Amino acid sequence: MDILTVEHLTKIYGQGDAATHALTDVSFSIADGEFCAIVGSSGSGKSTLLHLMGGVDRPTSGTVYLNGQDIYARSDEQLAVFRRREVGLVYQFYNLIPVLNVVENITLPVALDGRPINQERLSRLLHTLGLEGRETALPNQLSGGQQQRVAIGRALMNAPSVVLADEPTGNLDSRNSREIMALLRASNKEMGQTLVVITHDEDIAATADRVIAIEDGRIARDERIRR
């Protein structure tokens, strides 16, 4: 069953002679529980695509359906709630709140919703992410790899329908990169999270169930990986 559907997505920045077509008529669907890697050179449009899929930006035309619902039928306020509850976003730059500790950063989406924290899920995440014993540490007391683990925990805390990761290992060394991808893969396999990862790393793409290549704002290749 498809959980995410992109239909005729186009994004144009600027107008007239200054217009830049970041995406042009992009369409595809992602199945529930799938791990999809989106690859392409810098400026190909892959990050723009991820932001549109996550409701971070609005398209010039076309739409995105998550669980059968048009995400852009929502107001900006409703989109903000949608992102907190339905989409787990992980970026290359960790985007942690400097004055919040590990637990506070992980549970921030829940706190913003004014809902009680699922302590069982929090404990499981802290264990899985290897952050037990670091619960009260601030971001500046953590390594880059640990900060990215916190960012992943924040993305998973609300058990979102889909996790979207934009170059999640871009700032990490090879060992930390392998560990972060292993954690994301575990969330995909063990927690059933649908996972979409933007990457330029061929080794990461090779671990996905499916690879979509973007060139000049269009889909150049869409293939499933056979193992």
Residues 6+ positions from 20 with CB-CB distance below 8 Å: 12, 13, 14
Low-confidence stretches of the chain (pLDDT beneath 70):
227
Tokens of 27: 């369409």
Let me know: does 149 contact 181? Beta carbons within 8 Å.
no
H/E stretch holding 207 reads: none
CA 134 distance to own-chain centroid: 24
Coil, helix or strand at residue 43:
coil
Coil, helix or strand at residue 221:
strand
How high is the pLDDT of residue 126?
A: 93
How high is the pLDDT of residue 227?
A: 61
How high is the pLDDT of residue 75?
A: 93
List Cα–Cα distances, 125 to 23, 128, 194, 219, in angstroms: 35, 5, 17, 35
How high is the pLDDT of residue 95?
A: 87
Please identify which residue in the block is written with the tokens 């916190």: 150
Let me know: does 53 contact 45? Beta carbons within 8 Å.
no
What are the tens digits of pLDDT across the range 24-49? 999 999 999 999 999 998 889 999 99
Please identify which residue in the block is written with the tokens 């805390």: 157
How high is the pLDDT of residue 182?
A: 86
H/E stretch holding 129 reads: none
Tokens of 161: 């329908």
Residues 6+ positions from 85 with CB-CB distance below 8 Å: 109, 113, 158, 160
Count of beta carbons in the 10 Å neighbourhood of residue 202: 10
Let me know: does 198 contact 38? Beta carbons within 8 Å.
yes
